Chains A and B, each alone.
Chain A
Amino acid sequence: MISPGATRVRLGALDDLPPREGRAVTVDGERIAVFRCDGGVRAVSNACPHAGGPLADGVVAGDTVTCPLHMRVVDLRTGEVSDCAGRVRVHDVMVEDGVIYLLRPEPRSEAHRA
Chain B
Amino acid sequence: MGGTRRRLVVIGNGMVAATFLEELLGADAERFEVTVFGAEPHPAYDRIKLSTVLAGACEPESLTMLDEDWYTDHGVTLHAGCEVVALDRERQVVRDGTGRETPYDVCVLATGSDPIMPPIEGRHRGGVHTFRTLGDVHDIIEGGRRASGAVVIGGGLLGLEAAYGLRLRGVEVSVIHLMDRLMERQLDGVGARVLRGQLELMGMRVVMPAETASIVGNGRVEAITLRDGRVIDADLVVVACGIRPSTALARESGLTVGRGIVVDDRLRTSDPRVFAVGECSEHRGLLYGIVAPLNAQARVLAAHLRGDETAAFEGGIPATTLKVAGVQVFSAGVVDAEELDDLLTLEDTAAGVYKRVLLRDDRLRGAILVGDLSTAPQITAVIAGGATVNGNRLSLVAAPTGEPPTSVAAGLADEAVVCGCNGVTKATIVCAIRDQGCATRGEVTKCTRAAGSCGSCGSIVDALLAGCGVEASASSAEPDVCACVPLGLHALRAAIWERNLRSVQAVLETLGNGTGCAKCKIALSYHLDAWWCGDYEEDRSARFINDRVHANIQRDGTFSVVPRMFGGITTPAELRRIADVADRYAVPMVKVTGGQRLDLLGVRKEDLPAIWRDLGIVSGHAYAKAVRTVKTCVGSDFCRFGVGDSTALGIAFERMIWGLYTPHKLKSGVTGCPRNCAEVTVKDVGLVGIATGWELYVGGAAGMSVRKGDLLSTVATPEQALRHVALFVQHYREEARYLERTYHYLQRVGVDAVRAATVDAPAAEQEGLLERFALAKSRVREPWATEGASPRTPLQFGALPAAGPPEERELVGHAAAAPSPAFRSTQAMDRGEAMLAAAGVGVG
Binding site for B on A (CB under 8 A): 9-12, 15-21, 23-31, 34, 38, 45-47, 49-54, 56-62, 64, 66, 68-69, 71, 73, 79, 84-89, 100, 102, 111-114
Can you name the residue of chain B whose Cβ is closest to the Cβ of A99? Answer: B803
Give the CA-CA distance A47 to B144 in the complex, in Å: 15
Whether B518 lies near A31 (C-beta < 8 A) is no
Q: Does B242 contact A (CB under 8 A)?
A: no
Q: B79 contacts which chain A residues (CB < 8 A)?
A: none
Whether A85 lies near B323 (C-beta < 8 A) is yes
Most chain B CB within a 10 A radius of its CB, from A10, A26, A28: A26
Whether B57 lies near A87 (C-beta < 8 A) is yes
Give the CA-CA distance A34 to B810 in the complex, in Å: 17
Q: B52 contacts which chain A residues (CB < 8 A)?
A: 86-87
Q: B458 contacts which chain A residues (CB < 8 A)?
A: 85
Of the A-B pairs whose beta carbons lie under 8 Å apart in the complex, a sample of 24, sorted by A's number, is A9-B802, A11-B800, A11-B801, A16-B794, A18-B793, A23-B795, A31-B815, A38-B515, A45-B57, A47-B56, A47-B170, A52-B168, A56-B814, A57-B545, A58-B518, A58-B545, A59-B542, A59-B543, A61-B516, A64-B517, A85-B323, A87-B57, A113-B138, A114-B61
Whether B816 lies near A52 (C-beta < 8 A) is yes
- Of B137, B801, B808, the residue contacting A28 (CB under 8 A) is B808
- Of A21, A30, A87, A102, the residue contacting B793 (CB under 8 A) is A21
Whether A10 lies near B802 (C-beta < 8 A) is yes
A47-B170, A114-B42 known; 5 other A-B pairs, CB under 8 Å?
A: A23-B799, A26-B808, A49-B326, A58-B518, A112-B60
- Number of chain B interface residues as a range: 35 or more
Q: Does B455 contact A (CB under 8 A)?
A: yes
Q: B142 contacts which chain A residues (CB < 8 A)?
A: 112
Q: B802 contacts which chain A residues (CB < 8 A)?
A: 9-12, 25-27, 102
Q: A9 contacts which chain B residues (CB < 8 A)?
A: 802-804
- Of B141, B456, B553, the residue contacting A112 (CB under 8 A) is B141
Q: A25 contacts which chain B residues (CB < 8 A)?
A: 799-802, 811
Whether A68 lies near B804 (C-beta < 8 A) is no
Q: A87 contacts which chain B residues (CB < 8 A)?
A: 52, 57-58
Whether B557 lies near A111 (C-beta < 8 A) is no
Which residues in window 55-94 of B have CB below 8 A to A? Answer: 55-61, 63-64
Whether A27 lies near B541 (C-beta < 8 A) is no
Can you name the residue of chain B whose Cβ is closest to the Cβ of A9? Answer: B803
Which residues in window 610-666 of B have CB below 8 A to A? Answer: none
Give the CA-CA distance A84 to B454 in the complex, in Å: 11
Whether B815 lies near A26 (C-beta < 8 A) is yes
Whether B814 lies near A54 (C-beta < 8 A) is yes
6 smallest beta-carbon distances between A and B, as pairs? A66-B518, A12-B800, A20-B541, A54-B814, A25-B800, A59-B518
Q: Does B145 contact A (CB under 8 A)?
A: yes
Whether A49 lies near B168 (C-beta < 8 A) is yes
Contact with A along B307-331 (1 / 0, CB 8 A): 0000000000000000100101000
Q: B590 contacts which chain A residues (CB < 8 A)?
A: none
CB distance from A5 to the nearest CB of B (A): 16
Most chain B CB within a 10 A radius of its CB, from A49, A52, A88: A52
Contact with A along B147-171 (1 / 0, CB 8 A): 0000000000000000000011110
Whether B795 lies near A27 (C-beta < 8 A) is no
Whether B803 lies near A15 (C-beta < 8 A) is no
Most chain B CB within a 10 A radius of its CB, from A18, A20, A24, A25: A24
Give the CA-CA distance A49 to B804 in the complex, in Å: 27
Q: B817 contacts which chain A residues (CB < 8 A)?
A: 54
Whether A18 lies near B57 (C-beta < 8 A) is no
Whether A26 lies near B521 (C-beta < 8 A) is no
Q: A51 contacts which chain B residues (CB < 8 A)?
A: 167, 201-203, 326, 555
- Of A34, A89, A114, the residue contacting B56 (CB under 8 A) is A89
Whether B557 lies near A53 (C-beta < 8 A) is yes
CB distance from A26 to the nearest CB of B (A): 6
Q: B811 contacts which chain A residues (CB < 8 A)?
A: 24-26
CB distance from B131 to the nearest CB of A (A): 15
CB distance from B547 to the nearest CB of A (A): 10
With A24-B814, A26-B815, A54-B557 in contact, do A59 and B521 touch (Cβ < 8 Å)?
yes
